[in-house]
Amino acid sequence: MEAAETGRAAVAERLLTSSLRTSYDPTVEIDWDAPHTPGAYWLPPQRSSLYGTPLWEQLSEEQRVELTRHEVASAASAGLWFETILMQMLIREYYRADPTSRQAQYALTEVADECRHSIMFGRLIEAMGCPVYRASTVDHHLGRFLKATASGPRMYAAILIAEEILDAFQREIMADESLQPLIRMVSRIHVVEEARHVRFAREELAAEVAATGPVGMAYARLLVGRAAYTIANRLVHPDVYAAVGIPPAIGRAAARANPHWRATLRWSAARVHANLADVGLVAGPGRLLWARAGLI
Residues contributing to the site for Fe ion (CB under 5 A): 114, 117, 163, 194, 197
Q: Which is nearer to Fe ion, 194 or 208 (CB)?
A: 194
Quote the strand ranges of 77-127, DSSP E: none
Task: Using CA atoms of 134, 137, 142, 148 in order, give the dihedral in degrees to the nearest 10.
Answer: 80
Nearest distance, CB of residue 259 and Fe ion, angstroms: 30
Closest CA to 122 of 182, 79, 179, 67: 79
Nearest distance, CB of residue 7 and Fe ion, angstroms: 21
In angstroms, rounded to a whole number, what is the distance separating the alpha carbons of residues 79 and 156?
A: 16
Q: Which is nearer to Fe ion, 93 or 163 (CB)?
A: 163
Nearest distance, CB of residue 194 and Fe ion, angstroms: 5
Q: Which is nearer to Fe ion, 197 or 226 (CB)?
A: 197
Q: Are 44 and 177 in contact (CB under 8 A)?
A: no
Nearest distance, CB of residue 200 and Fe ion, angstroms: 9
Nearest distance, CB of residue 77 and Fe ion, angstroms: 13
Closest CA to 124 of 31, 237, 235: 31
Q: Which is nearer to Fe ion, 71 or 114 (CB)?
A: 114
Who's near 116: CB < 8 A, 6+ residues apart?
24, 25, 26, 27
- What's the full length of the chain, in residues? 296
Q: Which is nearer to Fe ion, 66 or 194 (CB)?
A: 194
